[in-house]
Each structure stands twice: as C-alpha cells, then as structure tokens.
Chains A and B, each alone.
Chain A
Amino acid sequence: MRAYQDMVYSTAARLLGDDAQAQDIAQEVFLKAYENFEQLRTSATIGGWLKTVATNLSLNHLTRYRRRWRLFAELPPSGSSGAPETLFCVPDTLCDGIAADERARRLEHALRRLPDHQRVPLVLYHFEELSYEDIARRLHVSLAKVKTDIQRARLSLAQLLQRPALPAPDAAGRPA
C-alpha cells in the first residue's frame, strides 16, 4: 500500500481538487484493493488497476455527489468563470528560473484554482494520458467541449503560473 499511496492520492487530489475528498477516495481505493486481494497479489498491473479505480471513483464522486448537492451549494468561487479575461502571450517557458519544488507547488495550486469543468479534462489529458475521445466518452460531453475546456484550462494555468507569486493554500488544501 505504501508503494502506491502517493500515486493513488495524487490522482484523486488532482481530479477532485480537494484534499479531504481525495483522502476518502484513496481510502476507498485501497479497501477495494483489499476486497480483490487474491486477484491482485499476483498481478503485474496492480499500479494500473489502482490508478484506474482511483480515476473511476473520483469521476463518479464528481458526477454523482457534487451534482446532487449543486442545488444546495453552488455559489461559484470568485474568478472561476473559466475564460481568460486578459490578453495573454504564450511564453517560451513556464516558471523559468524557479526552483523545482516551488514550480511543483505553484502548478498544484494553480490546478486547484481551475473550475471542475476545466481541471478534470486537463488532468485526464495531461496526467492520466487519456485521449480527447476517451475523455469525452468518460465525461459524457462532446469532443468539441473537451477540446475547448482543455484549451481554456491550459491558458488559465499558464496565466496563473506566470503570475509573480501565488498565495499559499489553506490547511484544507484549498486556494486562498
């Protein structure tokens, strides 16, 4: 479990954008792995199995749980409209001259600032290496929407990463 816990947790945390929910999902993944222990103990693809289950559970959580509570809690966070508001020139490099640790922290923080409909397809494409078609199928949206959302997410991410400094996230992992 210790060998895979970071990978499982990362997958869930990046898709959900919430540490507490990612912990719940990671816990559920390992409980499922325990239930299938006999099949998995000799499997060479246990890492892939865990990652797939983490992705599926996270997407289920996003589509079922959050949709169910949207009526109650949908108060959009400020600055989450999705479309970049200012003109932006694509740079040649991102976070140039910044230490690797700081760059990693900035990227994670910037990911969390993206709205769900942009962050999820971006993570599926760039971290989980799914194709546009697979993402559209998994999220039950059109191919054009997936491409548009990912393109906007890249722009927002690049803009956030080019800013001089980002405030540190709070204890729950949410951006300030």
Chain B
Amino acid sequence: MSLSAEEQARLERLIDDACRAQPPLAAPPTLAARVLAQLEQRAQRALWQRPFPEWAVSVRVAFVFASVALIAAALSWSAGASGAPWIAALWQRPLARLESAGSLLSFLTAFTRALGVTLLQDIPAFWLYGACAAVLALYALLAGISAMAYRSVYGMRSGA
C-alpha cells in the first residue's frame, strides 16, 4: 500500500501528536521494593560471591599472585610425580622469565605460549581437530533436539 507524500506527512503528524500526548505508564508498585531488596541482597553478599571488579585492588592483586603460585606448584608437583619432561618445560621457562624480567604479565604471556606450543606439538592434529568437530557436532545436536522439544511443547500448549 502506498500513501502520497501528503498523506504520509499527515499520518506522521497524527501519530506524533498522539505519542507526545501519551502520559508515562505507571510503574508497578512493587518495583521500588524489588530494587531495595536487590540492593540489600547485594550488600549482604560475601566477598567470593561478588563480581571480581568489585573486590578491593589489594585483594585482587593477592588473588592473582596466589592463583599463579598455585598453578606453578601444581605443575611442579605434576612434573615430579609423573616424570613428564614437557610439564616441567611448560612452566620452568616462563618462570625463569618471571625471575629475570620480574613481570607477571611476561610470565603469563610466556606460559600461555608454552601451553599453546605443547598442545600443538605434542597432541596429534587429528585428535585436536577431531575433538573440536565432536564438540561442535554435539552442541548442534543438543541445540536442535532442545529446539524441537521446546517448539513441540510450546505448539501443543498454544494449540490447547
């Protein structure tokens, strides 16, 4: 359906006038109570239940250092227990860099790179690609089954 320019302008003016004259909708009386309850609930949360950005800076820094130390200790123990040289190599090289550069960022970069190299070199490419393909196929399968089930149930309810 096509309207002339004059009709379009008149329609725009009519709708604009109607919208401008429209009063705001009344918010439900429960809204303020909901917000206050949510604020109270947030205030009562323990530290570990709050989002990481809300932690104090000192606590965040301590947490990062503790995590890195824990990972290094776990890798060290794994290398000693299993005798696998690649595990030791995985963290010893980055750790040496940490000592020399004294930078946590350089350690994390080197660690990530060493992990990537280990994954690419020591695990056969066939297994890596195969695992990725299997994960994707499973995801698509589950999403498809869920969508079909949801649509069936929703359609039955709508038709009822």
Contact = CB atoms under 8 A, between A and B. Distances in A.
B18 to A, nearest CB: 5
Contacts of B20: 126
B25 A9 contact: yes
B46 interface: no
Interface residues of A, number: 45
A138 to B, nearest CB: 18
Interface of A is mostly: helix
B25 A157 contact: no
Given A1-B32, A13-B25, A75 B155 contact: yes
Interface in B144-160: 146-147, 150-151, 154-155, 158
Nearest to A147: B8
B34 interface: yes
B11 A158 contact: yes
Given A2-B32, A31-B35, A71-B143, A161 B24 contact: no
B34 A27 contact: yes
Contact of A6 (B12, B27, B151): B27
Interface of A: 1-2, 5-10, 13-14, 19, 23, 26-27, 30-31, 34, 71-73, 75, 83-84, 87-88, 90-95, 100, 103-104, 107-108, 122, 126-127, 151, 154-155, 157-158, 161
Interface of B: 1, 3, 7-8, 10-12, 14-28, 30-32, 34-35, 38-39, 42, 143, 146-147, 150-151, 154-155, 158
